[in-house]
Structure 1
Amino acid sequence: MTDGQPLSLGNLALSRKEDFKTFANAPRREQPELLTRAELKALSAAARAAYNRLRREWHANLGPIKTPQLAALQEDLWDIVESNLQDGDKAKGAVAVDAFPGLGKTTSVLAFLREFHHREIAENGEYTAQGHERLPVCRVGLTGNTGMKDLNRAILEYFGHAGRNRGTATQFGHRALDCVLSCEVRVLALDDLHFLKWRKTSGIEVSNHLKWIANEFPVTLLMIGVGLADKGLFSEGTPSGDTVLAQTGRRTTRLGMRPFTIDSEAGRLEWRQMLLALEKRVVLADKHPGMLADDLSDYLFARSTGHIGSLMTLINRGCQRAVRSGTEHLDRDLLDGVKNDEASENARKELEAALESRRLTSRPRASRTAA
């Protein structure tokens, strides 16, 4: 909330420095007050509309939740970034966050980058010794048509450099290096790296260019994508690359994220903790303890297949419908009418059959005993 108005970050492009700073410096959202049905009914039409808008925005931004997966990834990222304090004459280790879609890669990395930005500014100030704006993080999103020149231009776009529209790939590269040095960037994050066509000429060029960045830029190169190993990131962009000799493979630490699983008691406990954390964040008048973690545990696992992105989408859309329809709680009847992503819907039937036949359960032993 700012000056009584809901905070809106919906019009940001994190590939620009001003928007990334806005994202990083935005105050944490305040959870709307949980009203009873009687209190909802007592609101005026205008007050109720304002309250429901707050809830719409809140439910659309429930994360990030510090799951074991997120915590483990961030610990590894801190290890790598903090160990990259070598002098400028030494190449720094790079990171590749490589995992399937829907597991929270980008969300987890952005949460880390936000914390890193805060720490660097707190320790070193908002401006460098030369008076330049300090930008600890540069975040660039790639597309399927990104070549070496496009990548350099994208870095210049982040800084709003005046020379980002005219020049050669080499000129763009040196301008990007000047920006990184002047603003004392410490982490260069490249998102959606899998969009590159690695086995095409442009992919090989970019692979070589990434090595140049790792050699010349005093930054930790943080790459995020899907199936990066299969696409040749660690074998120099060629299917037959010698991974033993490949420089990228030797310098890059590959990190992953796993889905939730329910084939062990530890996995079931993790799943329950996730649902309990979500329950606390849901703002619906008729919610009750165990609404997600007890009543809907198996159902939500089947609908999401243990992927946090699919789970968050389903809960978000379910809450929107519950508010709009006046249902004010989540149950199977309401959620059956809510569509989820195609991958989850396709895998749903087999999981549901196993859960309903009791061949599988998502509930830990203690919660089953209590029930």
Structure 2
Amino acid sequence: MSTPRLFSLSRKEGWNQYVNTPPRQRPEKLTLAQIAALSEDAREDYNNLRHDWHANFGIIQTPQLAAIHGELDQIVASNQQDGDRIRSAAVIDALPGLGKTTIANQYGRTYDRQQRRRLGPVTDEGHERVPVFRVGLTSNTTLRTLNRMICEFYGHPARDRANAAALASHALDCVLSCETRLGIIDDIHFIDLDRKDGLAVSNHLKWLANELPVTFIYVGVGLAERRFFADGLTGKNTILAQTARRWTRLGVDPFHLTSDQGRQHWRKLIKATERQLVLAEHRPGMLTDLAGYLFERTSGHIGSYFTLLMRGCYRAIRTETEALNRDVLDQVRLDEASEQARQQLAAALTRGTLSTETEAAS
């Protein structure tokens, strides 16, 4: 019987589990007759195994993911300066539901594995090697809490009782001792520049970039719209303008149907995910035939797309339909943004102003 792998990426132990746990094994695809022949307990275990698989079958190599990983490779490789040099940072900036956190985490996992393979699990000084740290900001992050989050990732014993300055020193010691080279800070859109605490955190990000021999990958929502990268800022935002000079913004776009290439990418995504389904009655091409419908339901947002499939697979198993079709998927309620956009997209697909067919196919 499969159980979820419960861990937090904001702790070293959880991150290590994420990095080192081998991929799940795809369950065997049984026929309807074979499923019917199972005992009640065996059928429950088999269905639970499939639910776990459909929720966690792995990351699809989308064009968006591949493009940003290529940019990150370039930024990280060019940041191999000595400790007295300032390193540039990458900022993955996109709307919700486009996979930006997944892209950052996946890159961090690959980088972590590469560093451990090349350099070993222990530093020359005998400390545990921790190539990557990852933390996520909250809506009330202060200077002290940011430092504490970094210390908590490493499990530093003084993380709960030191002041902000001491925690910053401890964080620096952890990074240097463990020879960390990549730092992922998620949800930086929670930094409120209209608050004193927010400006202090923004200042501290600059200090971290100056003092730590680390390439930072920041992740946030709608940062460009909030003028995180605005040039010519003055007054209390001057520090942000200075920091933004060192940040390379990497945007993540939703899938679209406005070009032949966009339509090809959308259909390739559907084909790639369809191969992962473990449903007795599902046949290749059933999802591809619903390409327009799937876009209508999800607006081309990969997060909404995978939610639709995961919930649809659960319903297909529970109702014994054992296939993803429109009737099954129509019973799945999605996020409100997708539901609100659905009617307009459906009209465009009906009128033919949007199409999933490529020019070669048509």
Aligned match for 2:38, one of 40, 43, 47: 43
CA distance in 1, matches of 2:335, 2:155: 36
Alignment-derived partner of residue 299 in structure 2: 305
Unaligned runs of 5+ in 1: none
2:24 and 2:57 in contact (8 A); partners too: no
Aligned match for 1:346, one of 337, 340, 346: 340
Query: How far has the Cα of 1:7 moved from its partner?
Result: 6.1
**TM-score, length of structure 1 as denominator length:** 0.93
1:70 and 1:108 in contact (8 A); partners too: yes
CA distance in 1, matches of 2:252, 2:353: 26
1:234 and 1:243 in contact (8 A); partners too: no
CA distance in 1, matches of 2:122, 2:167: 24
Does 1:105 find its partner at 2:100? yes
Amino acid at match of 1:360: L
Aligned match for 1:139, one of 134, 141, 158: 134
Amino acid at match of 1:45: E
**TM-score, length of structure 2 as denominator length:** 0.96
Amino acid at match of 2:171: A
2:104 and 2:217 in contact (8 A); partners too: no
Cα deviation, 1:295-351, whole Å, max 9, x if unaligned, reads x11110010000000000000000000011101011111111110111111111000
Alignment-derived partner of residue 359 in structure 1: 353
Amino acid at match of 2:2: P
Alignment-derived partner of residue 185 in structure 2: 190
CA distance in 2, matches of 1:259, 1:231: 20
Alignment-derived partner of residue 271 in structure 1: 266
CA RMSD of aligned residues (A): 1.9
Change (3 A) 1:240 1:287: farther
For structure 1, which segment, 351-360 or 276-285, has the greater mean C-alpha deviation from structure 2 after superposition?
351-360
CA distance in 2, matches of 1:58, 1:349: 31
CA distance in 2, matches of 1:150, 1:164: 10
Aligned match for 1:6, one of 2, 12, 16: 2
Query: How far has the Cα of 1:358 moved from its partner?
Result: 2.3
Aligned match for 1:121, one of 104, 116, 119: 116
Secondary structure of residue in 1 paired with 2:134: strand
Aligned match for 2:226, one of 203, 225, 231: 231
Does 1:205 find its partner at 2:181? no
2:232 and 2:241 in contact (8 A); partners too: no
Aligned match for 1:172, one of 162, 167, 184: 167
CA distance in 2, matches of 1:91, 1:253: 14
Cα deviation, 1:64-109, whole Å, max 9, x if unaligned, reads 1000001001111111111111001101111111011111001111
Change (3 A) 1:117 1:169: same
